Structure 1
Amino acid sequence: MIREAEDRDEEQLSKLYRMLVPNSKKMEVQKEQLRKIRNDPMNFIFVYEEDGELLGSLTLNICMQALHGERPYAIVENVIVHEDHRGKSIGQSLFRHVETYCNSIHCHRIMLLSKATRIRAHQFFEREGYDGQVSKGFKKYL
């Protein structure tokens, strides 16, 4: 089942995110932040839950713009599937959920960034229809 993350998911999300960024010293999942995101109509953390266990997650942010009339665009971040459950269509299910939602609100496009060394993730994104050759991503950490 795919649902929005709740503050009760703090511990399990932390474990999933640790698989995504194992050496991060800045990672900190907070119940209050999960609550704020859940109450914000433009931001979502979707989780894939099976038998009470979170097996995957991604973050979706809806961004307004002026370039395409009233059509927003979406950004997907923090895509992770539990390392013991990859290859079971969990990531694909999460992306289908996001695309269905984005179509329902007439998003112009969905964008995502991925660490340059995550080759298997890039292959997955390409299988899902995302083109890694269209743009070049830039980040500046603060």
Structure 2
Amino acid sequence: MIREAESKDREQLSNLYRMLVPNSKKMSVPEEQIEKIRMDPANFLLVYEEEGALLGTLTLNICLQAMHGTRPYGLIENIVVHEDHRSNNIGQSLLKYAEEYCRSLHCHKIMLLSHSKRVRAHQFFEREGYDGSVSKGFKKYL
């Protein structure tokens, strides 16, 4: 089942994020932030749950723009599937859920970034129809 995260999911979300960035010293998943996202109509912290266990997550942000009329775009971040449950269509289910929501809002596009060394993730995104050759992503950490 895919649903929005709740504050009670904090520990399991932290565990999933550790699988994505195992050496991060800055990672923090406060319950208050989970609830703040939950209350925001343009931001979604989605989780894939089976029998009480969170097996995957992604963040979806709906962003306004002026270039394409009233059509927003979706931004996906922090997509991670539990390392013991990869290749079981969990990531695919999360992406499809986010895509359907974006379609319902008539989004112009969906964008996502992936670390340049995550080759398996890149292959997965390409299988799901995302084109990594159209744009080049840039980040500046603050």
TM-score band w.r.t. shorter chain: over 0.9
Q: Which amino acid aligns with 1:26?
A: K
Aligned to 1:139: 139
Aligned to 2:63: 63
Q: Which amino acid aligns with 1:43?
A: N
The 1-side partners of 2:99 and 2:139 are apart by 24
Aligned to 1:128: 128
Corresponding residue SS for 1:87: coil
Q: Which amino acid aligns with 1:113?
A: L
The 1-side partners of 2:106 and 2:41 are apart by 15
The 2-side partners of 1:140 and 1:106 are apart by 29
Aligned to 2:83: 83
Within the alignment, does 1:15 sit opposite 2:20 as a pair? no
Deviations along 1:38-79, whole A, 9 cap, x unmatched?
Answer: 000000010000000000000000000000111000100001
Deviations along 1:71-96, whole A, 9 cap, x unmatched?
Answer: 00010000100000001000000011
Q: CA deviation at 1:102?
A: 0.3
The 1-side partners of 2:94 and 2:50 are apart by 13
The 1-side partners of 2:62 and 2:96 are apart by 16
The 2-side partners of 1:99 and 1:74 are apart by 8
Write out aligned runs for 1:35-74 (5 A): 35-74=35-74
Report sequence identity in percent: 72
Write out aligned runs for 1:107-118 (5 A): 107-118=107-118
TM-score between the two structures when normalised by the length of structure 1: 1.00
Corresponding residue SS for 1:10: helix
Number of matched pairs = 142
TM-score between the two structures when normalised by the length of structure 2: 1.00
Q: CA deviation at 1:36?
A: 0.2
Q: CA deviation at 1:113?
A: 0.5
Aligned to 1:4: 4
The 2-side partners of 1:41 and 1:127 are apart by 29
Corresponding residue SS for 1:49: strand
